[in-house]
Each structure stands twice: as structure tokens, then as C-alpha cells.
Amino acid sequence: MLFVIDVGNTDATLGIYEGENLRNSFRIPSKRDENAIFFEYKIRDYFLENDIKFADIQKIVLSSVVPTLTPIYKEIILRTFGFTPIVVNANIFPQLKVSIDNPDEIGSDLVANAVAAFTKYHRNCVVVDFGTALTFTTVSGEGKILGVAIAPGLRTAVKALFSNTAQLPDVPLELPKSVIGKNTIHSIQAGILWGYEGMVRSMIRKIRRELDGDCIAIATGGLSSIIPTLKGEFKEINVNLTMDGLRIIGEQSR
């Protein structure tokens, strides 16, 4: 079995694959103030509760965009499983080149997204990841990551609004029927969700224009289905796209 770990800014998403099938997945909060014992306990507890043996894990792939947690997870993996993980970087997948000014700047999760999309479609595509950040990763059919656009994620935008405005309440991320808000909650939902709907459509359209119209769009991330009116923009909505990319990297890495 293959164990993949995607350490993001809000949560780490962990998955266990048997072949191409995702058998199990779970999340651990990315708490910067916790030590290795906290994360190790979460992993051990999940394996125990789901009757998964450490010895059954043959390979581990680690992606992390949180530098302080990367060595902690590497330490846990070595101590628990007895070997070091494959750590994702810009050069981890030879079939896919990173065509940006400084390849080391690209997030390893975006590399995994690109690997999954390119491996499945082998054509121009943009992966829209609805996470802590909203990212647009453009990949060419010739096997190049052409570049990335980054905006605050939906929850990040909401938190930023609340942290700077004392009288605004927290609101559920639900798309309202009207863009004309009739109360405070409706107004926030209309501004953020319909505003992001327009931004995503516009970004996809502009990326397609730069690629002469030949580009499919793929959505991933925990909030990828939160704006249902965008469904028609995407060839595929796959919340597990990042983990699928990590699996592919693991399968093709020594």
C-alpha cells in the first residue's frame, strides 16, 4: 500500500492507496504550535482504529507547503515506518517540466495537481484548487507547468473580512439566489460567493484566451463544489486530485 500526505496551511490530508484506489483518507489540523507527538498520535490512532498495519505501507509520498511541519512529518515517518518518504519538489516528476522563473517557489501541492491532470488528459489544462488559497495552475499538453495565479481562498477572504470589521457576523458559505443582499448575512454571501464565481469564470476565460482557446479546466479542493453555478466550467471536479497526483509520483519514483 502507498501512503500519501499533503500538508496544507489549514489541514494535512492523508490517504492510503491500494493500487489506484483510495482506500482510506483522513485529516489532521496543521497546528504550528504542536510537537511531533500530536501528529504521530493522530496517525497511529487512525491506523489502529481502521486495522491498518504499518508494515503494509510500502512507500510514502510527502507534500508540504508548511516549512515548520515538513521536518516533523519526516521525523514521524522515519520513526513509525522505518524509512524516509519521497518528498515532492518541482523536479520530482521528469515528464513534467516547471516553466517558471524560480521552480523552487511553486507549491508541492500544485505540482501534484499538475501531475494528476497531465497524466490523465495530456492536453492544455488549468487546475483550479479551492483551498486556503484559490490557485490556478496552468499545464500545457506538451508537459510543462506554465505558471500559477493565486488569490485568497473563500474562507480566507471571509476571515479577513471579519478580522477587520467588528460588527459583521460569521456566515455559512452558501450561494444566495440573488446578488442583491437584503440583510447582513445575505450581503456577505452575495459579495464573496458571487464575486468569486465571477473571478473564477474570468480567470478561466483569460487563461484559455492566452492558450488560443485550447484548455480544459479541472476543479479540486475542499470547496470545489461550493459554487454550483461553476460546475459547467469544469471537465472534472475531483476533491482527491492532489492525492491522486501524489500517488502517481509515488508509483513512478524509486
Q: What's the average model confidence in pLDDT over 99-114?
A: 94
Q: What's the average model confidence in pLDDT over 140-150?
A: 96
Percent of the chain at pLDDT exceeding 70: 96
Look at residue 34 and tell me whether its pLDDT is greater than 80.
yes
Amino acid letter, residue 43 = I
Cα radius of gyration (the chain): 19
CA-wise closest residue to 115 among 148, 85, 93: 93
Residue 191: count other Cβ atoms within 10 Å of its Cβ.
Answer: 15
Residue 82: count other Cβ atoms within 10 Å of its Cβ.
Answer: 10
* 2-87 and 97-246 have identical folds: yes
Angle between helices 36-49 and 70-81 (to 10 degrees): 50
User: What pLDDT shows up at residue 166?
Assistant: 58
Q: Which CATH class is domain 2-87?
A: alpha beta
Predicted confidence band of residue 174 (pLDDT cuts 50, 70, 90):
confident
Residues annotated as part of the active site? 109
CA 56 vs CA 2, 3, 48, 151: distances in Å:
9, 10, 13, 39
- Locate 119 and state its grid cell: 497524466
Angle between helices 241-252 and 108-121 (to 10 degrees): 80
User: What pLDDT shows up at residue 155?
Assistant: 86
Residue labelled with grid coordinates 480567470: 203
What is the DSSP annotation of 85-121? Answer: PEEP-TTS-TTSEE-SS-GGGS-HHHHHHHHHHHHHH
Predicted confidence band of residue 251 (pLDDT cuts 50, 70, 90):
very high
User: What pLDDT shows up at residue 135?
Assistant: 97
Cα(171)–Cα(185) distance, rounded to whole angstroms?
A: 6
Tell me: the pLDDT tens digits for 82-106?
A: 999 999 999 999 999 999 999 999 9
Predicted confidence band of residue 54 (pLDDT cuts 50, 70, 90):
very high
Task: Give strand pairing partners of 24.
Answer: 16
Query: Do the strands 133-139 and 125-130 form a parallel or antiparallel pair, or are they unpaired?
Result: antiparallel
Cα(91)–Cα(155) distance, rounded to whole angstroms?
A: 31
Cα(4)–Cα(14) distance, rounded to whole angstroms?
A: 6
Look at residue 249 and tell me whether its pLDDT is greater than 90.
yes
Q: So where are the chain's domains? A: 2-87, 97-246
Cα(137)–Cα(123) distance, rounded to whole angstroms?
A: 13
Query: Do the strands 144-152 and 133-139 form a parallel or antiparallel pair, or are they unpaired?
Result: antiparallel
User: What pLDDT shows up at residue 96?
Assistant: 94
Whole-number mean pLDDT of the chain? Answer: 93
- Locate 114 and state its grid cell: 499538475
CATH architecture of the domain with range 97-246: 2-Layer Sandwich (3.30)
Look at residue 164 and tell me whether its pLDDT is greater than 80.
no
Predicted confidence band of residue 64 (pLDDT cuts 50, 70, 90):
very high
User: What pLDDT shows up at residue 158?
Assistant: 84
Kindly report the pTM of this predicted structure.
0.92
Question: Comparing 170 with 241, which gets the higher pLDDT?
Answer: 241
CA 65 vs CA 71, 76, 211: distances in Å:
12, 17, 28
User: What pLDDT shows up at residue 157?
Assistant: 87
Q: CA torsion angle for 43, 46, 50, 55 (degrees, to 10)?
A: 10
Question: Comparing 25 with 163, which gets the higher pLDDT?
Answer: 25
136: phi then psi, degrees, rounded to nearest 5: -125, 105
